[in-house]
């Protein structure tokens, strides 16, 4: 049996119950009380005999040279470390309070509370100056070090994967015991080689998480693992780069200004950073606080990291060049700074947008340039039609709707005498070739489709330079308005509407069209009859025509709606098929039943990344009374890979209705 099959055949859980839960909670409370007592003793204690214990001799000399009292700096540094340790305490207690029935959460909580004492100045000060407390300090160090290694090998499901990786914890525990004994005997014997061994073992943990991520994790576990992998990577990079490169290279070059930056910014950051990064990552995963934003965090880290480096180089270079040009002037340095700052301000946003576009395309394969916005309607917001009594052969125009892409007027068909809707491309967009093509495309698509749940078109053309199409008039509101009024719809009301939409989609797909913009505002609910509302699919403006001999020129703006867009539509819109519409239909059904969108982000980049990476939520978690198969059907419709979705929209509806 394969590894994936073994995992799928069992239901591993980190939840505790019965006597195991009681023993785990008692053990946690016992250790928590000891940490609390130790913390109080540390805060009361004053280490007057060893004020500069953690400072090297060269650092003490440099502090005095730049006019900073070593006593003051010790207070400053310990204050930062104490605040960090307090954060660890609070985070550990919150995790235990929220998830005290989960042994993984309990282990993380213990790691945070004991690590706060063994990793920062609280525990260090007391253990060095008072040997009587050193054994307790060693206990905290042992618990936090071994526990964190177990967590990194087993997170998030409590399994060692592969199973033989459990034996890697043993040498790590031996190393921790050895290092702890050295610390217990004499702090001064703690050699740098031990640090590199520790980082190497952390690197093995990182590889174990990467292996788990690539080989066996389900989508939900992969999202949780990203926090851990991201944090572990930062920890290793920060620790090793500081030890091998940054401090040895920077320290001899420090002047008055750079020395202050080193002591008051760099040294505290480099001290707490390696501990904060992985622990915060695990904490967020455990509590599921903003879990999916890790992808967005990584995205923006790449963007702003590259932006900061590039602009710092450009700013420094321009400052040097300008200062050389004005070196003979009394105000030369001030002029150099002013000119460099101006250049910096001018190029900041364009540079950021270019780097953002590069990162989106190269690292996330996001082909949508969501930083662009379509042109606004002309001031006044109305076309010339409003000032006319008629439009061609149509009389008595009445404005009934306006949107960002079109204006709709009600009139009467000259021969049939029935009400019609005239859709007109606004003047502000008519000058844009891409939008004219989109408008003409919609008329072309609808004219070839005849289905009771697809809007009918009677006429289209160009009237004095204005593109228009004449469609059937539908009395009623759209689905978006209904959801806004009702919040959410019961299943009995949702199913008939979804069945009609699915029928229209399958018909369009069979005819070779993909709508690509399924959303509630494009579903009109015709209520002229006494029967239940007729759901009518509209707006085929960005529909894809399979096997078309000509391709529509892109407008350069987003095609589709972020809230409902399928992952493959984000990455390569021209090659999508009908399953992209099924994804959007799944999003819409989730919204109809729960009253909320599955992915909610105000930032468009974060929303697109959520569609690409975040597993579809289970509607049953919001509606416990909903049948499990319905939540599963929606999740399948919203699968990231098209081949994992339903083959047809009707098949999706049949699963909902069974």
Q: In the numeric block, which tokens belong to residue 335? A: 């002029």
Distance, in Å, from the CA atom of 475 to the CA atom of 458, rounded to the nearest integer, reads: 17
Using DSSP's 3-state secondary structure scheme, residue 398 falls into strand
E strands, 35-99, in order: none
Per the document, the length of the chain is 658
Distance, in Å, from the CA atom of 321 to the CA atom of 229, rounded to the nearest integer, reads: 42
User: What residues are paired with 454 via a beta bridge?
Assistant: 537
Using DSSP's 3-state secondary structure scheme, residue 658 falls into coil
DSSP state for residue 454 in the 8-state scheme: B
Distance, in Å, from the CA atom of 270 to the CA atom of 246, rounded to the nearest integer, reads: 10
Nearest CA to 428 out of 387, 468, 375 is that of 375
Residue with tokens 């300008």: 322
- 517 is known as an active-site residue: yes
Q: Which of 517, 539, 563, 581 is catalytic?
A: 517
Distance, in Å, from the CA atom of 373 to the CA atom of 608, rounded to the nearest integer, reads: 16
CB 634 within 8 A of CB 590: yes
Render 171-213 in DSSP notation, one character per residue: HHHHHHHHHHHHHHH-GGG--HHHHHHHHHHHHHHHHHHHHHH
Q: In the numeric block, which tokens belong to residue 461? A: 């053309």
CA distances to 125, 489, 521, 592, 596 from 485, rounded to whole Å, are 62, 10, 13, 12, 13
Distance, in Å, from the CA atom of 590 to the CA atom of 282, rounded to the nearest integer, reads: 29
Residue with tokens 């439009």: 391
Distance, in Å, from the CA atom of 291 to the CA atom of 281, rounded to the nearest integer, reads: 9
CB 618 within 8 A of CB 593: no
Distance, in Å, from the CA atom of 413 to the CA atom of 485, rounded to the nearest integer, reads: 32
Distance, in Å, from the CA atom of 486 to the CA atom of 480, rounded to the nearest integer, reads: 10
**CA geometry: angle 71, 77, 80, nearest 5 deg:** 145
Backbone φ and ψ for 373, nearest 5 degrees, come out as -125, 140
User: What residues are paired with 523 via a beta bridge?
Assistant: 537
CB 116 within 8 A of CB 85: yes
Q: Kind and range of the H or E element at 146?
A: helix 134-154
Supply the residues annotated as catalytic: 517
């Amino acid at each position: 049996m394969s590894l994936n099959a073994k995992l799928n055949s069992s239901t591993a859980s980190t939840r505790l119950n019965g006597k195991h839960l009681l023993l785990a909670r008692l053990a946690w409370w016992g250790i928590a009380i000891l940490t609390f007592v130790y913390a109080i003793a540390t805060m009361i204690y004053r280490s007057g005999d060893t004020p500069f214990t953690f400072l090297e001799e060269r650092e003490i000399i440099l502090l005095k040279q730049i006019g900073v009292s070593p006593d003051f700096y010790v207070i400053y540094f310990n204050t930062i470390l104490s605040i960090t340790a307090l954060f660890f305490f609070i985070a550990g207690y919150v995790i235990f309070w929220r998830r005290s029935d989960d042994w993984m959460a309990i282990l993380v909580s213990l790691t945070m509370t004991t690590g706060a004492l063994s990793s920062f100045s609280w525990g260090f000060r007391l253990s060095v100056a008072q040997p009587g407390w050193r054994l307790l300090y060693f206990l905290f160090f042992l618990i936090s070090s071994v526990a964190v290694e177990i967590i990194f090998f087993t997170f998030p499901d409590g399994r060692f994967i592969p199973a033989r990786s459990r034996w890697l914890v043993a040498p790590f525990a031996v190393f921790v015991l050895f290092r702890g004994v050295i610390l217990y005997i004499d702090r001064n014997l703690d050699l740098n080689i031990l640090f590199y061994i520790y980082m190497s073992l952390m690197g093995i943990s990182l590889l174990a998480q990467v292996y788990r991520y690539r080989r066996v994790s389900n989508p939900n576990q992969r999202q949780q693992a990203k926090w851990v992998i991201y944090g572990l990577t930062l920890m290793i990079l920060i620790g090793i780069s500081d030890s091998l490169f940054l401090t040895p290279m920077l320290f001899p070059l420090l002047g008055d200004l750079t020395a202050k930056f080193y002591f008051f910014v760099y040294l505290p950051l480099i001290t707490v950073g390696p501990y904060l990064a992985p622990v915060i990552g695990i904490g967020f995963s455990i509590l599921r606080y903003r879990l999916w934003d890790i992808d967005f965090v990584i995205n923006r880290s790449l963007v702003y990291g590259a932006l900061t480096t590039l602009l710092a180089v450009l700013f420094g270079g321009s400052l040097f060049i300008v200062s050389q040009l004005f070196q003979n002037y009394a105000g030369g340095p001030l002029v150099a700074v002013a000119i460099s700052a101006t250049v910096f301000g001018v190029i900041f946003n364009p540079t950021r947008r270019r780097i953002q576009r590069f990162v989106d395309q190269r690292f996330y394969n996001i082909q949508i340039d969501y930083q662009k916005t379509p042109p606004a309607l002309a001031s006044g917001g109305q076309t010339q039609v409003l000032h006319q009594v008629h439009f061609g052969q149509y009389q008595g125009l009445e404005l009934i709707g306006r949107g960002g892409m079109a204006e709709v007027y009600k009139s009467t068909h000259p021969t049939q005498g029935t009400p019609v809707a005239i859709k007109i491309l606004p003047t502000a967009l008519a000058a844009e070739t891409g939008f004219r093509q989109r408008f003409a495309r919609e008329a072309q698509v609808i004219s070839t489709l005849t289905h009771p749940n697809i809007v009918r078109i009677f006429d289209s053309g160009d009237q004095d330079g204005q593109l228009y199409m004449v469609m059937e008039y539908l009395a009623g509101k759209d689905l978006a308005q209904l959801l806004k009024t009702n919040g959410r719809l019961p299943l009995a009301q949702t199913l008939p509407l979804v069945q009609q939409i699915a029928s229209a989609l399958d018909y369009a797909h069979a005819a070779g069209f993909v709508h690509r913009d399924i959303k509630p505002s494009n579903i009109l609910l015709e209520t002229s009859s006494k029967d239940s509302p007729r759901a009518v699919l509209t707006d085929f403006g960005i529909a894809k025509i399979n096997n078309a001999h000509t391709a529509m020129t892109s407008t350069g703006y987003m095609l589709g709606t972020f809230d409902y867009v399928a992952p493959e539509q984000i990455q390569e819109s021209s090659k999508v098929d009908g399953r992209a519409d099924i994804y959007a239909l799944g999003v819409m059904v989730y919204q109809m039943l729960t009253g909320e969108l599955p992915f909610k982000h105000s930032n468009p980049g974060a929303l697109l990344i959520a569609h690409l990476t975040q597993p579809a939520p289970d509607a049953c978690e919001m509606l416990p009374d909903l049948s499990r198969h319905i939540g599963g059907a929606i999740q399948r419709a919203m699968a990231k890979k098209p081949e994992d979705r339903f083959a047809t929209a009707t098949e999706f509806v049949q699963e909902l209705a069974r």
